[in-house]
Amino acid sequence: MTLNQSRLFRTLKTLDIYVDRALNIEYPAKGLSGFQYNRDLLKAAVANSYLETIGNRADSIHLAIKKVKASDIVWAYRDTVQTVGSRFGLKDKNVVLAFDYTDEDFYGEINTLWIHGYTGEHAVKGKFKFLSCSIINSDIPEKIPLISIPVMQGHCMAQTVAWLYITARLNSLTV
């Protein structure tokens, strides 16, 4: 497989811009920016590990996230999806949305409705559960994740899927 360097650069630049917007970092940044944060975020993603075990910016990233409203992160992501979607011409295509659950292991004490029960294998105490909405289309080689939201025990799947669907429609998709 040959790596297209200009496409890779564009993807990394898009990711840098997203993090800057999500964390309300103005350019030029006085401190750390998406450029620095993304290096640790990508290393952790590739290693399927935690920020704390990969790099030295975990505390800075966590503090930056705590300073912003969750809605700022969601709106920055929505804008990024619209930008990327326009590159694929998704506004002009009929797309199919796929909804599925994803689990993440949890090892701490379970005292919240956000942690779902588990058997305890490999010291796992519970699972975070997310409902994800992605675009699937025969013209696109990979599914494109639109949004993934945490779900608590006892949530109404129909209501959550409806909310995700409305969010997809806000991105001007024909679904």
Query: pLDDT tens-digit profile of 45-91?
Result: 888 888 888 888 889 989 989 999 988 988 888 888 888 777 777 77
Cα atoms found within 13 Å of the Cα of residue 10, Cβ hemisphere only: 9
Extended strands (E) in the chain: 96-106, 115-117, 126-136, 144-150
Average pLDDT, the chain: 81
The pLDDT of residue 66 is: 92
Confidence of residue 174 (pLDDT cuts 50, 70, 90): low
22 against 82, higher pLDDT: 22
pLDDT digits (tens, 9 = 90+) for 97-106: 888 988 888 7
Among 99, 76, 68, smallest CA distance to 15 is for: 76
- pLDDT confidence of residue 173: 56
Tell me what percent of the residues of the chain surpass a pLDDT of 70: 90
Residue 2 pLDDT more than 70? no
Using CA atoms, how far apart are residues 144 and 82, in angstroms rounded to an integer? 12
Alpha-helical segments (H) within 48-156: 51-54, 58-66, 70-88
